[in-house]
Every structure is written in structure tokens, then in C-alpha cells.
Amino acid sequence: MSIRVGVEESRERLVALTLLLQRATHQRPLTQEAIVAELLIDEYPVDKKAPRRVRAYRGSETAVRQKFERDKAKVRELGIQIETTALGDGTVGYWIDPDGANGPAIDFDAAERRVVGLALHLYGFGPSGAFSLFNEGPAPEGGLEFSNYYNPILRSLRLGRVLVFDYQSSANKTRTVEPLAVGVFDGAAYLVARVRGSDEVKGYRITRMTSMPLVLGEAFNVDDATRELAASWRPQYARTPRPVDTVVVTTANYARLLTQQYPGSLAAERKGGLVEVGLSFDNLREAMRFALNAGPRVRVTSPKLLKNELASWLRGVNRGVVAPLDELRFEPHATNDALGQALQLLHAVHLAEGGLRISELSRRFTLSADVVRHVMDRMVSFEPFHGRYGFPAHVIKECDDWEDEANDDSLYRAEFGPSYERTTPSLTWRDLFELNIALREASRVFDVPAMHSAIEKIEAVVGTRVRVESAAPEASLADVRAAIEGHERIKIHYVPGYSDELQERTIEPRELRVLNGRAYVRAYCLTREAWRTFRVDRISGVVAKSPADAMRPEDPTVNWLTEVGEGGVDVVVVLEPGLRWIFEPLPSAQWQPLRDGRHAVRFRVAERAFLDHLMVQAGPGAVVASPDFADAGRELARQMLQAL
């Protein structure tokens, strides 16, 4: 990563503005005139011996105003809300509520800090999240959807105040809601809220919000009945008065997996080695989803209504008209910007009682030593406002070799002012949300007292209980975890991919991670003599264990959890808005709304079979726009239709 003068000047100005406004208050806000007159940064290029202090905002009145407005927008894009106050002289004062970005401090003990680190490795935002604040190594790819929107959402829940944001459903519209809860279902995060001015409770998927949520000053009241309604909300279709009892015929291997994944299901042997399985679903759509996911591995025999719905669905797979590919434009994935990067580094140094060296910061945040040195040296000389506004801590730099400072592995530590005792630094609301979800997911794998006490501490300050519901039971999860901890070799029965073939594999598990509500294990497969990724809910049993006593080659895939989003070829699909949920979990998905109300999504596909099954699940209303895959899913749909 190279250091550019424009980027660094913008970084220091944004950090200075953010920390300055956090020192202002509702009673003592700062006007644009005051900020422009006195906010200082180092001039670039910088002479390290004597940096020249200059005004952060220079130029004509128009240029200054435009730059100031852009900077305010960038701060808000990070999820930090800048409050405004009308002053008596007709001007506007600005300030950042101390609770606007950060929640109350939480003092984790040593055991809790350890389990927090484990949880974030298993299931967190990845490099953009809190991993680097609790772990020494570089952050892995995240299994939880990252968004800066969590900051205002969690804050509004804590304060019980109205929230407004733009939201993409059939159309992009502004929504004004009363937040009630937040939940993660099958790996996707939703805000559950009451529509302002009504009794309707709805769920809003965080990734479909198209503007930074704004916390308004309006408070609201909620009765117990509304809270119960919010607690029962799920993204699935509503439960019907009578369940849909479904009967399918499949192979013995797949029947064994189904009875494991669907507790309460019944199985009976039939002629020819086939097995009849009875399952019960809350509604027809849930039964449809099951049948489509199972594909040709099952044949639905009843009820007739389900068979008719399936037939109609399969006839419409990948049929329709799409726009030419050259008319579609996709926005790149959002990345952590200069302000967020600097604040993360600063936060990590404040959090480490003994400070952190350049090499440690470089490893944690996957940055070059030069970038770390450049950013943190700015923090050392950070005096943006003539010393008239105090800051809780200043960064001190310690060198082992000051004569070779440019190459020294310097230590940066926080020195707190006389009126500020060293306390546990506050985490952002987004960090607290990530920690809560990661700990809840990790408790399925590491059920220890420190895990639960850390969750209790978080929820005591957040003020709302986060719900987490995973995709499917994973009966072999405990055995896999034990094999990792004990460095064991295990023999498993496994049903891979879209097959109903039961395979016997001997593996040496190394790492567990969670993506989209499902646990995956990375293991060296002795059967294939290569590194492989296994979905834990597809392991139908662990049949043998023994010590893993041999050295294995290094795993060539670093980001194995999200490799499906990195390999293969690009595919574009055009679909109705109601089908977004099928494609949103894909790690590489990029979106574009179309003029006709449909949405286009671009993602990467490593195997044709994956795309075929994806299009069958999407059914009518989704069409592949990429010419090389124009018939994707049709042959699979034909096979399933014949089986009906």
C-alpha cells in the first residue's frame, strides 16, 4: 500500500475533525467558522524534524465550505453521527455525542478476552471488524456481513429513538421506523422495527439499507405485546394454522442425513433400497424451499398441492428477458477508508496497556510497516486545536534506535491526561454487535463460562438482546471441535455437495469457521491427499478417531472460507427484488437496481453445478444474463420435473 500526500492530508484532517467534535458538547458546539479558523494539520511533505502546522481548511470561502461538507459526509459514512444545533446568532453548531459512535466501556477479564478472540476468529467481520483489537495475528475473512450501519442502529435501540434510512426493496424508499430488536438469521442481520405511525412490525435486512441510518431526537413507547411480536419475527414466511406434512422418497444415505438435520422426521424403508421420509414444515413455502434445495436427491410424493407448486416453479426456471451486459454497471465493494483505518490503529494502541510496536500493528491490520509508521507518527504529533480542547490520551512514540528511526520497530503507547485515568477504552456500537454475535455463534463450539459472562457484560450495556438462529442442526460439531483441540484424525461419513452418495473420508480437522449460519471445517483429507473444506451439517457421523501423528503440507488457500467468491468466473443474473435473499449470502455479490424494478447481481461461480442449483432455487423471476450460462438450471429443473 503506497502513501499518497492527498490521502494522508485527508486522513489527518478527518481524524482531527472527528476527535475534535467528540470533545465538543451540546452546550458547547463548534461552528464551521471556529473549526476552519483553528483546526491544524501538518503540511505535506513533512520535515520530520520540524513539521509545519497549517490550517486544515484553506482556500476560497466556497472551496472551504465544500471541503468541510465532504468531510462531514465521510465521518457520517463511518457510522459516526454529527449532531447539529441552531445557535442564537443564526449559525449552526456541530458536535458528536460521546455515545454516538462508542458504547460504554466494558472491562473483560483475561478469560473473557481469550474467548472474545476465539469467537472473532470463528465468526466476525474479518479485517474490517474488531478482530485486530483482541488478536495478535492478521484477521481472517469474515463470516458476518460487515456494515457501518450497525453504529446508529445499535445506538437507536439503546436510546429508544426513531431511526430513518433509505431501503431497497421493490423500490428505493425512505423508511421511518421505531427500532425494537436486531437479529441474525442464517448469517443475515435484520433490524426488526415498527413502522412509524402504525402498528406494523417489519424486518429490514441491513445490507439492503442504502443510506446511513440517522438517529432522530424523537423517542417512542412500546408495550409488551409489540415487544413479543418483534421477538417472534422471522424472515421466513409466516407459520400457517396447519403444518404442511410432506413425504419424500430418497436413498438410504440421504435419508440418514435428513433425519439428522430435521429432528422429528420419520423414516421407513421401501423396496429397492429406497427410504420414505416424512417431514413437517410451517408453511408451503418452507416445504418448497426444502424440496428445491434437495433437488433430484428426493422425489416428493405428497401433498399434491406441493407437487403442483413445484411443477409450476420448475417450468419457469431461468426463463425471461434480460438487458445486455454492457448496460449493467456494478458498484465496487465498500472498503475501510483512511479515517476508519486510522481510528482502528489508534483504538488498538489505546487498548494495549503496554503499547504496540510497528510490527505488531502491521501484522494485525495487514498493513505495511511504512503505512503504520506514517499514520501513527501523525498521531504522535497530533495537536489539532492549539491545545484548547483536551483529549483523553496522547500517543507517545518510543524508539530503540532514534538514529535509525525510519527503520526502527518503534513502540506506540497511549499516555492519558491527568484528568483521565487509564480505563478500558470504549468499543464502537458496531464492535459490540459483532462481539455479541460472534460469542453467541462460538458458544455452539466452545461452551465455557467465560463465553456467557462476556455476552452478559455486552448486553448489560447495549440494552437489547440479540437473537441468533442458525441454518441447521450440526450433530457432529462437538466431535469436530474435539478433533481440532486434540489434534486428532477422524473417519467420517459425508454427503458432499449435491450428491446423495455417502462417502467415507479420513480427515485431520484444523480450523472451524461459520458462514451464513453454517459451520465449516478446514481439514487435510487423507482420502484425497489434499486440503478440503467440509460443511459440518453434511457429516452424518464420526465413526473412528486416532492421533494425528504426521506432518501435512501447508494449506495453499488462505481465505478458504470465502474462496467460492474469489475463484471461478463472473456471472450476472437479473431477478425480481423478492429473490434477493437467495443471492445475498454469496461472498462476492455486487448489486445494481434496474429501471424496470428488477435487480442485477454479479458474482463468481467456480462450478457449473452450483449455478444450476442456484437458478432452480430462484425459479421464475430470475434469468441469467451471461451468454455462456444462458441455460443454467434448465436441465436440472427438467430432471426434477420428470421425477414428479
Residue 167 · residue 149 · CB < 8 Å? no
Q: How high is the pLDDT of residue 1? A: 40
Which DSSP category does 426 fall into?
Answer: P
pLDDT of 50 reads 57
Q: What is the pLDDT of residues 386-426, one digit of tens each?
A: 555 555 667 889 999 988 988 999 999 988 765 555 555 67
Tell me the angle at which helices 608-618 and 634-643 cross, rounded to the nearest 10 degrees.
Answer: 60
Q: Residue 45: is the preceding peptide bond cis (ω within 30°)? A: yes
**Class of domain 564-643 (CATH, top level):** alpha beta
- Segments of the chain scoring below 50 in pLDDT: 1-4, 334-336
Report the pLDDT value the prediction gives residue 44, as an integer from 0 to 100. 55
**Sign of the torsion formed by the C-alpha atoms of 7, 13, 16 and 19:** negative
d(CA 301, CA 249): 7
Q: Of 390, 366, 377, whose CA–CA distance to 135 is shortest?
A: 366
Per-residue exposure over 199-228, b if at least 16 CB sit within 10 Å of its own CB, e if not: eebbbbbbbbbeebbebeeeeeeeeeeeee
Whether the Cβ atoms of residue 94 and residue 71 lie closer than 8 Å to each other: no
Domain borders along the chain are: 5-96+354-416, 477-559, 564-643
pTM for the complete prediction?
A: 0.83
Are 303 and 246 within 8 A, CB to CB?
Answer: yes
**Nearest residue to 456 (alpha-carbon basis) of 98, 103, 112, 110:** 112
- One-letter amino acid at 93 equals G
Task: Tell me the sheet residues that pair with 398.
Answer: 411
In this prediction, residue 392 carries a pLDDT of 61
